[in-house]
Amino acid sequence: MNNELAEIMQIMDNVYRLDISKYDETFLKRALEKRFAIVETKKPSDYIQYLSSNSDEVSTLFQSLNITHTEFFRNPLTFAHLEQWILPRLMERKPDKSELRIWSAGCSSGQEAYSIAMLIENINSRKNNKNRYRIIATDISEKALREANKGQYSESAIQKIRVEDLKKFFIKSGETYTVCDRLKKHVSFSIYDLFDNLSSYPQESIFGNFDLVVCSNMLFYYKPDYQQSILMKLINSIDENGYLITGESERQTVSKYSDLYLVAPPSPIFKQRRGAK
């Protein structure tokens, strides 16, 4: 299918100005096979002809490559580390009146960002001097960001949330759970393309220097050069004593970078060597 894949890439780029060459080829082939079946084309050449004359299919194919699946507390061990020592340590180090700054990159429909906000709220509830904090959550999908801003989730989506946290941070209406304003006021959602060469971090953050950057289960969809591009952007946005968290399946890939080291194996939690203390 290599020749057909190259032709599809060329059509997407030359005709529609959409670059899909950055995606991992195995991932691309699987995505295309699903589209072949859905539009009922028997051969790759039939799909190429269909794609060439159908702009709606172009949009559908491109959107199918932007994976937006996420969950609350998706990696329990990583979130346990966050709750028990990483966030408390970061919060203790913050000078009075300064702000804890977090970037949730590739946030999809917001569950990751809200999960972190719940942990911070619970830690703050046990302190006399509460930390100010701000979570900047970004994604390339407008649809996913609209869902994130609503903060409305089904009963099946909230299964990993503790009962006491559901009561504190969500408003139940029928089978829908809506994030309360207490969390929402600390989380902002905006569009940001991690491949934007004109910016090093989201415009809203002004200057980066995040205490924590989370980018989970996204790197493996891209070719190695593009993985490196994303990682360098994430690393450069972190404060010297900050942390980077990726997905479990990406741990080995990220571990190859000499300027990062694992702080809590096997969890994919990294720190920069120049900031090691």
Q: What is the pLDDT of residues 33-48, one digit of tens each?
A: 999 999 999 899 999 9
Is 86 exposed, middle or buried (CB count within 10 Å of its CB: 0-12, 13-18, 19+)? buried
Predicted confidence at residue 1, as pLDDT, reads: 64
Question: Over 60: is that where the pLDDT of 276 sits?
Answer: no
Question: Over 50: is that where the pLDDT of 104 sits?
Answer: yes
Percent of the chain with pLDDT over 70: 98
Higher per-residue pLDDT: 135 or 249: 135
pLDDT digits (tens, 9 = 90+) for 197-225: 899 889 888 888 999 999 999 999 999 99
Predicted confidence at residue 259, as pLDDT, reads: 84
Q: Can you give the residue ranges of every domain in the chain? A: 2-64, 76-275
- What separation, in Å, do the N-terminal and C-terminal C-alpha atoms of the chain show? 50
Predicted confidence at residue 84, as pLDDT, reads: 96
pLDDT digits (tens, 9 = 90+) for 87-102: 999 999 998 889 999 9
Residue 25's pLDDT band, with cuts at 50, 70 and 90, is very high
Predicted confidence at residue 207, as pLDDT, reads: 82
pLDDT digits (tens, 9 = 90+) for 169-183: 999 999 999 999 999
Question: Over 50: is that where the pLDDT of 275 sits?
Answer: no
- Report the distance separating Cα 249 and Cα 109, nearest Å: 21
Higher per-residue pLDDT: 151 or 2: 151
- Report the distance separating Cα 20 and Cα 188, nearest Å: 28
* Buried/exposed 95-126: b ≥16 CB within 10 Å, e otherwise: eeeeebbbbbbbbbbbbbbbbbbbbbbbbbee
Predicted confidence at residue 236, as pLDDT, reads: 92
Predicted confidence at residue 274, as pLDDT, reads: 67
The mean pLDDT of the chain is: 93
Give strand pairing partners of 60: none
Predicted confidence at residue 42, as pLDDT, reads: 84
CATH class of the 76-275 domain in this structure: alpha beta
- Report the distance separating Cα 74 and Cα 160, nearest Å: 8
